[in-house]
Structure 1
Amino acid sequence: MALARNRRRDKGGDYWPGFVDALSTLLIAIMFLLTVFVVAQFVLSREITGKDEVLNRLNNQIAELTQLLALEKSGKQDLEDTLANLQSSLAQSESERTRLQSLLDSGSGAAAQSEAKINDLTGKLNDEQQVSARAMSQIELLNQQIAALRAQIAAVEQALQASEARDQSSQAKIADLGRRLNVALAQRVQELNRYRSDFFGRLREILSDRQNIRIVGDRFVFQSEVLFPSGGADLNPQGLDEMSKLAAALVDLAREIPPDINWVLRVDGHTDNVPLSGNGRYPDNWALSSARAISVVKFLISKGVPADRLAAAGFGEFQPIAPGDSPEARAQNRRIELKLTEK
């Protein structure tokens, strides 16, 4: 029996460490959550403080001006009290002077003493009048300062109101400009698309009987064999004829497009993926594709197409339109593309 009781006691004592570990884990989790909450509160308070910083400074300035105004009013009240005391003293002096004058009239024996007192009181009266005049000037100065402080407070309030009004007006103007810009851009795009359609429509009419010339999306594609000899960038006779037709269409189109539409015809040169031999005129397909595009642009310029409406680019073999290495795919990839875009 004793052995059983000892076993039960030992078995009951094993629960306590697990309970302590669970309680410690719970406390750590609660501390972690409290730490996250405190950090979040700190970040939010920093953001709110940053947004209200300007308003707090203006409120502080208004509070300072209000305190100065209160101090000036208090000083004014003190001076007014002083002035009242001086006026009371002046009245008493006048009363004393009147009394002495009556004594002087009634008794000639005290005339000299009364005259002396009168002179003394007259001097004191003059002094009091001067002090009173200075107090009045100080009161006037304080009134001017108070008026200036009130003007400053009114200016600060007007500045706040004007700032809020400007902010609202700016937001409205920005929204209106955005809408107007979107409408203008849409109109420009529509006009350019219309002239692009006219341009490609004319090219279709001019070059519709050519099997090696086709339209791919928004681009007009010439096969390189139509325009250039193999491995060269000088236009052959057939290429000169095709580019002359293209130049005539471009010259007519340039006259019709309004000058405020900033269009450009981009000439892109492409080759197949066959490397060039090192003994040729061009070291690689990059140079060959660029030279062919430049050759077309220069010829169009010589036929009267404005140079500022043309652009040349070479892409080598890195933008094929036909996958694979078959002769047919390579022939399609050797091409000159024309694309009418906006600058």
Structure 2
Amino acid sequence: MARRSRRSIRSELNAWPGYVDALSTLLMVIIFVLLVFVLGQAFLSVALNKRQQALTQLEHEVAKLGQMLSLERSHTSALQHEVAGLQKTHEADAATATSLTAQLNQQTSERDNAQARATALDEHVAQLRQQLSALSTALDVTENDVRERDRKIDALGMQLNVALAEKVEQLQHYRSEFFGRLRDVLQGHKGVQIVGDRFVFQSEVLFPPGGAELSPEGVKEIRILAQTLRQIAQQIPSDVPWILRVDGHADRQPIHTAFPSNWELSSARAITVVKLLIAEGIDPHHLAATGFSDYQPLDHGTTQEAFAHNRRIEFRLTDR
């Protein structure tokens, strides 16, 4: 009887290592599945980050795609939340698996229940794999949608360039008409000339020496210009972004007036002209005043004639 008891005890002891091997194999499978999940999560996170970077680089000029981009970001955010939820679920499952392992090590009498729980865990891991596969498919669909939107953006960009070219052509037409009318009105006026795309008034025509207050003759000249500009402005469509830039220029001679330098003098003269244009009914949204001091000369000579040539007010009809 003693021998039989010993044999029975040895049989039970031999069954225990086989169970430990099975449990080790199960743990390795669980660790492998966790590793696959973590790698899948990393790749999915990298892919989502790339998509987010691609979305943030879209040109801000294409305002019509704002809603589409917002929907795409919302979709990406939903995917991220879903992945985060899956990760939390997986962490909870990992905690459950750890608890099961501890119970199996302490309570050999509950082997059948532990095996059932392990089977349930395998089924849950299979479900996680299916969810990862579905997420991968959804990510592929998202990439295709992004590529399609990129193609649409390129097409819209080409349309925008064509529209901008048309607006520039319209502005060129109205600029030519504006300068043509001014040329007819001011033809023969001393100190007034056209240089390239600019209408140039010598400062002596508009201002007293060293001053920024318009002379009576200067007021008259600017009112003529304002009248012509009002007529042209009525013909320019509201969607053409035009602006009349008033540039003040001085010579390089030091000044001894109330102005500290030629910067202040040239800027003050340009602002004075702009104020009179506004008083004459020109929309201030279409006006700009700039001062260039003596750093944009027309004549680099040192004679009084060269200095007088450089003291000027220029008008340029351009786009914003």
TM interval, shorter chain, is 0.5 to 0.7
Query: Per-residue CA shift, 1:146-175, capped at 9, x if unaligned?
Result: 773464144133123213312321331232
Match of 1:183 among 132, 149, 162: 162
Residue 322 of structure 1 corresponds to 299
Distance 1:302 1:151, change over 3 A: same
Q: TM-score, normalised by structure 1?
A: 0.57
Query: Per-residue CA shift, 1:20-50, capped at 9, x if unaligned?
Result: xxxxxxxxxxxxxxxxxxxxxxxxxxxxxxx
Query: Aligned partners of 2:240, 2:203: CA distance in 1, in Å?
Result: 31
Identity of aligned residues (%): 48
Matched, 1:291 2:278: no
SS at match of 1:296: helix
Residue 112 of structure 1 corresponds to none
Query: Aligned partners of 1:170, 1:336: CA distance in 2, in Å?
Result: 49
* TM-fit CA distance, 1:227: 0.8
Residue 192 of structure 1 corresponds to 171
* TM-fit CA distance, 1:289: 1.0
The residue type paired with residue 251 of structure 1 is: R
Distance 1:138 1:338, change over 3 A: same
Residue 257 of structure 1 corresponds to 236
Query: Aligned partners of 2:253, 2:151: CA distance in 1, in Å?
Result: 59
The residue type paired with residue 263 of structure 1 is: W
Distance 1:55 1:246, change over 3 A: farther
SS at match of 2:223: helix
Matched, 1:340 2:278: no
Matches within 5 A, 1:91-170: 145=124, 148-149=127-128, 151-170=130-149
Query: Aligned partners of 1:211, 1:150: CA distance in 2, in Å?
Result: 87
Query: Aligned partners of 1:300, 1:223: CA distance in 2, in Å?
Result: 18
Matched, 1:222 2:213: no
CA RMSD in angstroms comes to 3.0
Query: Aligned partners of 1:285, 1:168: CA distance in 2, in Å?
Result: 55
Distance 1:150 1:282, change over 3 A: closer
Query: Per-residue CA shift, 1:302-331, capped at 9, x if unaligned?
Result: 111111211111111111001111122111
Q: Which has the higher contact order (CA 8 A, sep 6+)?
A: 2
Matched, 1:202 2:181: yes
Long gaps (5+) in structure 1? 1-53, 60-67, 69-131
SS at match of 1:260: coil
* TM-fit CA distance, 1:139: 11
* TM-fit CA distance, 1:176: 1.4
Long gaps (5+) in structure 2? 1-38, 45-89, 91-111
The residue type paired with residue 138 of structure 2 is: A
Distance 1:145 1:340, change over 3 A: same
SS at match of 1:320: coil
The residue type paired with residue 161 of structure 1 is: D
Aligned positions, number: 218
